Structure formats: C-alpha cells, structure tokens
Amino acid sequence: MSRQQSEPAPLDAVRMLVGLALQPIVATAVAFLLFPLLLLDRTGQTFAGGHPVSVSDSAASVAFAVGIVTVPVVIAGVLPTLLWLLRSGAITLTRALSVGIVFGNLPIVMGSLLAGTYGAIATVRTVAYASTIGVAGATAFWLVLSHNHERQT
C-alpha cells in the first residue's frame, strides 16, 4: 500500500481487514507445521522434559492455542499499529514484517515474564517459532494488501 493519505481507500480498507482476518488461520497453520521442528528436540522431548504421546495431537493443541491468542493480539495490537503506520506513511513490506516479528513474539515475552522460561536454548527455539509465525502472518497480510496494487497506481 503506497498511499500517503491518513485514510485508506475503500478497497485498501477491505484488503486490510481481510489480511487481518487471515492472521489466526495463518498462525494456526504455521504453528501446527512448525511444532515438531522447533518445539521438540531431536529426541522428541518438549521443553518441560516430557515426550508427547501423539505429536500431531500436541501440535494441534499448540496450534489451536496460538490461533486463539492471535485474535486479541491482532485486535488490540496489530490493528492500531497498522493504522498508526498508515498515518505516518505507506505500509511497506519491511514495516509489515517488523510488525509481524514484534507481535508474533509478544505473547512469548509476556508468557516468559509471567511463567519463566526453560533456559536459553528453549528460549531461542521459542523465539524462532514465534518469529516465523509472525513473519508468515505479515507476509500473508502484505500479499493481500498489495494484490493488484501495482496495476492500480
């Protein structure tokens, strides 16, 4: 979106809402797919030390929780941030990805402050997990927002 106005055009506003509405779906899908790669060690052990009885059931459970947490993060954090960015200029791919990384990691930071962590390696893997989810969501948002934009300008 390369508008320099304080308010998006109607089509841009619809695209922005569609991009935001996709966030829980994208987050859930990416969280499910990445669960065995980033949240389990080479032996299949979790950060807490246990082995899931079913990796797919555990992945589904974590993905569902990620999708649920995504909704208030998008409403309370991402939407106001994007509106602020829109007022201060275009929503560029770099800005969208930055917002994705920050808000992808926000629940991890809050959870770590409240519950603690499982150590440095677990923290790095969790941040990688959350960052990837945030970047995937930001990329989906950007693709929806920028679809056919080049032909319109």
In tens, the pLDDT along 75-131 reads 999 999 999 988 888 888 999 999 999 999 999 888 877 877 778 888 888 899 999
**Residue type at position 18:** V
From first CA to last CA, the distance across the chain in angstroms is 10
Under the banding of pLDDT at 50, 70 and 90, the label for residue 149 is low
Q: Is the dihedral of CA 101, 104, 110, 116 positive or negative?
A: negative
Under the banding of pLDDT at 50, 70 and 90, the label for residue 3 is very low
152, pLDDT greater than 50: no
Closest-CA residue to 127 (of 112, 108, 144):
108
Q: At what angle do helices 120-146 and 93-115 cross, to 10 degrees?
A: 150
Cβ neighbour number for residue 118 with a 10 Å cutoff: 15
Q: How far, in Å, are 10, 44, 67, 141, 144 from residue 14 at the CA level? A: 6, 43, 22, 12, 10
Under the banding of pLDDT at 50, 70 and 90, the label for residue 8 is low
Closest-CA residue to 82 (of 43, 135, 37, 138):
138
| Residue 7 confidence (pLDDT) | 59
1, pLDDT greater than 80: no
DSSP single-letter state for residue 20: H
In tens, the pLDDT along 37-74 reads 887 778 888 777 788 889 899 899 999 999 999 999 99
